[in-house]
Amino acid sequence: MNDALFPRPGHTALVIVDVQERLIPALPATRARAVVRSCTTLVRLADELGWPVVATEQYPKGLGPTVPELASALSDVGVDPIEKIHFSACREPAFAETVQPTLPSGVIVAGIEAHVCVLQTVADLQARGHQVFVPADAVASRTDENRANGLDLAARAGAVVTNVESLLFFGLQRAGTDAFRRLAPLIR
């Protein structure tokens, strides 16, 4: 398969950006639920496939912690979110100095907001030589227009805009496995 369209098994990481309690109510309700569910599914997929997982929280004193459902999934895989004040995770010293240098070539980026923190993180990762994949159903902004603009700009920066289900099935490669049986219910 084409490495430019799909992440390479064994060479992929997941970065979840700022899915926090005080940001969720500002999103359209349907989109908010979908993003939390999609990000949680991505964490379960990453755990199943052995992909490193990283999460961030933008100024948690003001925007609150990661939403409980996603925080639980992150805790299950041993991930504590990195606090940040920079919009791009790559510009936050805790991420830039310890996480980014260890990331594999492919990075899936999901979270909030598509046109701010997600976009800036995507652009910086692309500029640093990573191939970024942005699942459209796992990102949100306060308005649909800003979300669409963020996805468009991410694609212009070189990211592949995809979706959670494509990533899941690409990662699994085939049906009938134990991994398939564990993960398929997540997309039903």
User: 5 pLDDT band (50/70/90 cuts)?
Assistant: confident
Q: What single letter denotes the amino acid at residue 140?
A: A
* Residue 61: active-site member: no
Query: Is 18 tagged catalytic?
Result: yes
Catalytic residue selected from 18, 47, 124, 137: 18
2 has a pLDDT exceeding 60: no
The structure's pTM equals: 0.96
Q: Residue 3: which pLDDT band, with cuts at 50, 70 and 90?
A: low
> Given pLDDT bands bounded at 50, 70 and 90, which one contains residue 1?
very low
Q: What is the CATH number of domain 12-187?
A: 3.40.50.850
Catalytic one among 84, 90, 124, 137? 84
Task: Please state the rounded mean pLDDT for residues 159-174.
Answer: 94
State residue 41 phi and psi, 5-degree precision.
-60, -45
* Lookup: tokens for 176: 């009938």
Q: Which of the following is catalytic: 39, 47, 90, 117?
A: 117
- Location of structure tokens 């996805």: 151
Q: What percent of the chain shows pLDDT beyond 90?
A: 90
Distance of alpha carbon 40 from alpha carbon 55, whole angstroms: 11
Across the chain, what does the average pLDDT equal?
Answer: 95
Q: Tens of pLDDT along 127-155?
A: 999 999 999 999 999 999 999 999 999 99
Place of tokens 């899936």: 108
The per-residue pLDDT for 10 is 83
Q: Does 122 score more than 90 pLDDT?
A: yes
Distances (CA, A) of 113 to 2, 27, 62, 82, 174: 28, 9, 16, 16, 33
Residue 66, helix vs strand vs coil: strand
Largest CA distance in the chain: 45
The pLDDT tens digits for 45-104 are: 999 999 999 999 999 999 999 999 999 999 999 999 999 999 999 999 999 999 999 999
**Residue 137 CA, distance from chain mean position:** 10
Domain boundaries, the chain: 12-187
Are 81 and 112 contacting, i.e. CB atoms less than 8 angstroms apart? no
